[in-house]
């Protein structure tokens, strides 16, 4: 079992931790780490762009800074690009030609007619499925979505999207722009088919980050860097019945907590047994 982990203290990344600084439990049982990496594994990054009309100026901003953002990636990393409105379309499959990926970000804004309206949850679900089938068996996986978070989760509630992300071993990170705010949690009995989309919750569910910003260009480069610099922890998953969900916790050792008393660990809450 591999876990994609980010550690922050305030807004600052904690970059100096070692394997022995982490404590991992699977359904409460301590686990021995058999693998550890920090920013060295190959990354497959899906960039998911909301190209609805309200997003035009933000898309142009990231297009202008795309080449700068790609400098945080490493040789062998791969980038795919998908756009969405009412429906999603793949613009570029996973490619390790990072310069071309930067150029394609600018083209993606104008090359697709994806219908009027915005279906955020469907787009994330589609991106997770594509990543699962095409990212390859090795390395880390992440989706970075740029959106104004204005959508209704019609017939695809957050729980189903979160499961698709976790089952595909993919972390969701989000840059939220425009006038959107984080929706309040759905009330008991409320129809999940008609609740507001919430990329903040989906990011939390997968161990990612979601940030609300005024400008997309600087935030885009910063988010790519943060995605690239995560830790990877691995352990042998205990035997369990297929289809069951197992909870996972990750913490720092008491000594590491002394160094970083306010550290926050971003990690998915568990996994479904295959």
What is the pLDDT, as a whole number, of residue 178? 83
In whole angstroms, give the CA distance from residue 255 to residue 227: 26
Q: How many CB atoms lie within 10 A of CB 167?
A: 14
DSSP 54: G
In the CATH scheme, what architecture does the domain 43-228 have?
3-Layer(aba) Sandwich (3.40)
What is the pLDDT, as a whole number, of residue 192? 63
Average pLDDT over residues 19-27: 98
Least confident interval from 62-66, 92-96, 111-115, 142-146: 111-115
Ranges for all domains in the chain classified under CATH 3.40.50.410: 43-228
Helical ranges in the chain per DSSP H: 56-70, 98-108, 120-134, 158-167, 199-206, 216-228, 254-259
Contact indicator for 45, 73 with CB cutoff of 8 Å: yes
User: pLDDT digits over 43-69, tens only?
Assistant: 999 999 998 877 888 888 888 889 889
Q: What's the pTM? A: 0.92
Pairing of strands 78-84, 88-95: antiparallel
Average pLDDT over residues 201-222: 92
Residue 186 confidence (pLDDT) above 70: no
In whole angstroms, give the CA distance from residue 256 to residue 22: 8
What is the pLDDT, as a whole number, of residue 86? 83
DSSP 5: E
User: pLDDT digits over 138-172, tens only?
Assistant: 899 999 999 988 877 767 888 899 999 999 999 99
For the CA atoms of 23, 26, 27, 29, the dihedral, rounded to the nearest 10 degrees, stands at -60
Contact indicator for 39, 228 with CB cutoff of 8 Å: yes
Q: What is the DSSP string of 182-201?
A: PPPPPPTT--GGGSBP-HHH
Q: What is the DSSP string of 9-28?
A: ETTEE-----GGGEEEEETT
Residue 193 confidence (pLDDT) above 70: no
């Amino acid at each position: 079992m591999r876990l994609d982990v980010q550690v922050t203290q305030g807004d600052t990344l904690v970059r100096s931790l070692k394997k022995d600084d982490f404590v991992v439990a699977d359904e409460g049982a301590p686990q021995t780490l058999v693998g550890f990496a920090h920013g060295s594994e190959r990354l497959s990054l899906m960039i998911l762009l909301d190209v609805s009309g309200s997003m035009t100026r933000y898309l142009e901003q990231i297009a202008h800074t795309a080449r700068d953002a790609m400098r945080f990636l490493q040789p062998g990393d791969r980038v795919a690009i998908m756009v969405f409105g009412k429906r999603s379309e793949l613009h570029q499959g996973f490619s390790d030609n990072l310069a071309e990926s930067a150029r394609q970000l600018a083209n993606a804004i104008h090359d697709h007619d994806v219908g009027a309206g915005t279906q955020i949850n469907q787009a994330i679900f589609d991106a997770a499925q594509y990543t699962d089938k095409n990212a390859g068996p090795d390395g880390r996986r992440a989706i970075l979505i740029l959106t104004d978070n204005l959508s209704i989760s019609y017939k695809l509630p957050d729980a189903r999207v979160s499961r698709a992300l976790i089952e595909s071993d993919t972390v969701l990170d989000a840059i939220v722009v425009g006038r959107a705010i984080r929706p309040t949690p759905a009330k008991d009995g409320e129809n999940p088919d008609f609740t507001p989309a919430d990329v903040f919750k989906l990011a939390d569910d997968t161990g990612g980050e979601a940030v609300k910003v005024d400008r997309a260009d600087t935030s885009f480069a910063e988010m790519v860097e943060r995605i690239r610099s995560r830790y990877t922890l691995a352990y042998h998953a205990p035997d369990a019945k297929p289809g069951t969900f197992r909870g996972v916790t990750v913490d720092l050792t008491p000594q590491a907590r002394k160094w970083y008393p306010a550290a926050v660990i971003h990690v998915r809450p568990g996994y479904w047994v295959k």
